[in-house]
Structure 1
Amino acid sequence: MSRKQARIWTALDDQVLRALHSGGHGVSYIAKFMVSCKKSIHRRARELGLAFDETHRWTPAENAILRARYPDEPTADLARELGLPVGKVHARAKKLGLYKSDVFRASDKAGRIQRGRTDPRFSAGQFKKGHAPANKGLRRPGWSVGRMAETQFKKGRPASESRNYVPIGTEKVDPKRRVLMRKVTDDPSIFPVKRWRPVHVMVWEGVHGAVPFGHIVIFKPGQKTYVAAEITIDRLELVSLAENMRRNTVHNLPKDLARVVQLRGALVRQIRRREKQHGND
């Protein structure tokens, strides 16, 4: 990768740098204003004999000025007189427990738009009584451009008319849980995913009732199927969550194979982390 070329400073650049420096602005502000990096600003300032006091030590006299004038005067004016960035003045005032007074906040010097719609800056942008909006007469009930009206959802349209709608009783294989699912309701108050239930759980509940807390219904070893007609009660069993964990833990595998599974998991995590970082970059 080639190195970036150094900035070529012109006479106008030097004049701007001197003006901003004399105005009490810090390196960060000047770098943003001149579209440059802080390192370049520092280097050129040294060449021009300009010094930035990044670690300003406040004197008792300056603290006294701040206490007397900060609550009722614009901070920019104080910063200009003290030869410091506005941010440093605000930071010092906060450390001293100083805040702007209510009188200052209510004045025009604060630059704040006052409440009550009495501020001229507030009312200047308001629509006046009798003002005709630019789109008057153009937006009518049912108005649409092109073929928009043909594809819009109509008010009161039932879910059964949606292109993606499937009727109750539809079955599908859940790719994540890897079990056969069946749609059991169209209730709009229920989250769409919850409108589907595992078929094997429904079969077990049809014989034994609700699944007890802390237990799940699973297929017996070698009995799993995705065909609804083949999912019968003799293929199913009820186990606790702890038992299900013990059956599926990686530690049941041979030691070498368990190690391979763990390494694969670590590799997948690293790949996803790098892909995420690459996407953010």
Structure 2
Amino acid sequence: MSRRLWTDDEIEQLKRQYPDYETAEIARSLGRPIRPVYQKAASLGLKKTAAFLASDSSGRIQRGRTDERMVATQFKKGQTSWNKGVKGICGTHENSRRTQFKKGEMRGAAQHNYVPIGSERISKDGYLERKVNDDHPVPARRWVGVHRLVWEAANGPVPAGHVVCFLPGRRMSDADRITLDALELVSRAELARRNHPVTRDPELAKLVQLKGAITRQINRIAREAKEKPS
């Protein structure tokens, strides 16, 4: 469809009429769809006058006034809504209720993948986990590391900011061999320090220090070269 350009006469008419007339009426007189008229007015920076916006012709609902177009469908004082006391507004028909999910019901993949409480699995990090509930909304929280369960059975809940870890060389995935003497409680800060690559590999720590020294020397030489007068 070819684009219809605006003529000078049409633009002058739009400038004269847009502030005080309905846009739909202007569009009819120009023989154009209403959307291009709005777009052209916006590009020209045209605005409706305050007097037009306050008039009934604008189609706006004025503050403090009752629009006759809305009176017939407004709630009257003391009127009771049709759905008062009705629990829900959809899905109440018997045919709809017949296919609704019931509390505790599972279908599809959820039913296929379900395992009972007490089941065990190996996590992606290689820890033995045990399912402890079906109710938690986050599936991952339904599983707890067996090593943590062993520690909590003897000491109570794990304090905030701490984790239960295996002692070095004692990590295993056999439930019968996960005993209290193989576990320890450490802070998350200490765990992060232990797992840092520099801490786990002394040779790497030396290389990191060497890299830092080289970087500092490069920065110093670059800075002196920049400050040296040409």
Normalised TM-score (structure 2): 0.54
For residue 56 of structure 2, what is the aligned residue in structure 1?
A: 103
Provide the secondary structure at the position in 1 that maps to 2:171. coil
In structure 2, the CA distance between the partners of 1:210 and 1:171, relative to structure 1 (3 Å rule), is same
Residue type of the partner of 1:255? L
Report if aligned partners of 1:183, 1:197 keep a CA contact under 8 Å in 2: yes
RMSD over aligned Cα, in angstroms? 4.5
Q: Percent identity?
A: 31
Q: Which residues in structure 2 correspond to 1:242-261 (within 5 Å)? A: 242-252=189-199, 253=201, 254-255=203-204
1:224 aligned onto 2:207: no
* Counterparts of 2:19 and 2:47, CA distance in 1: 8
* Counterparts of 1:153 and 1:232, CA distance in 2: 46
User: Which of 181, 184, 204 is matched with 2:129 structurally?
Assistant: 181
Report if aligned partners of 1:182, 1:198 keep a CA contact under 8 Å in 2: yes
* Counterparts of 2:48 and 2:166, CA distance in 1: 69
Report if aligned partners of 1:251, 1:258 keep a CA contact under 8 Å in 2: no
1:76 aligned onto 2:27: yes
CA distances 1:75-132 after superposition (whole Å, capped 9, x unpaired): 6357769xxx531313445x6465874634549xxxxxx87899xxxxxxxxxxxxxx
Q: Deviation at 1:183? A: 1.0
Q: Deviation at 1:156? A: 5.9
Provide the secondary structure at the position in 2 that maps to 1:21. coil
* Counterparts of 2:29 and 2:207, CA distance in 1: 69
1:169 aligned onto 2:118: yes
CA distances 1:107-161 after superposition (whole Å, capped 9, x unpaired): 9xxxxxx87899xxxxxxxxxxxxxxxxxxxxx949x9xxxxxxx8985665699
For residue 80 of structure 2, what is the aligned residue in structure 1?
A: none
Q: Deviation at 1:168? A: 1.6
* Counterparts of 1:194 and 1:66, CA distance in 2: 62
* Counterparts of 2:42 and 2:29, CA distance in 1: 10
Normalised TM-score (structure 1): 0.45
Q: Deviation at 1:223? A: 1.3
Unaligned runs of 5+ in 2: 61-68, 74-93, 209-230
Residue type of the partner of 2:118? G
User: Which of 14, 19, 22 is matched with 1:67 structurally?
Assistant: 19
| Farther-moved stretch of structure 1 (209-218 vs 248-257) | 248-257
User: Which of 168, 172, 181 is matched with 1:234 structurally?
Assistant: 181
Residue type of the partner of 1:203? V
* Counterparts of 1:105 and 1:243, CA distance in 2: 69
For residue 276 of structure 1, what is the aligned residue in structure 2?
A: none
Report if aligned partners of 1:182, 1:199 keep a CA contact under 8 Å in 2: yes
In structure 2, the CA distance between the partners of 1:208 and 1:155, relative to structure 1 (3 Å rule), is closer
Count of residues in Structure 1 that have an aligned counterpart in Structure 2 = 168
* Counterparts of 1:247 and 1:256, CA distance in 2: 13
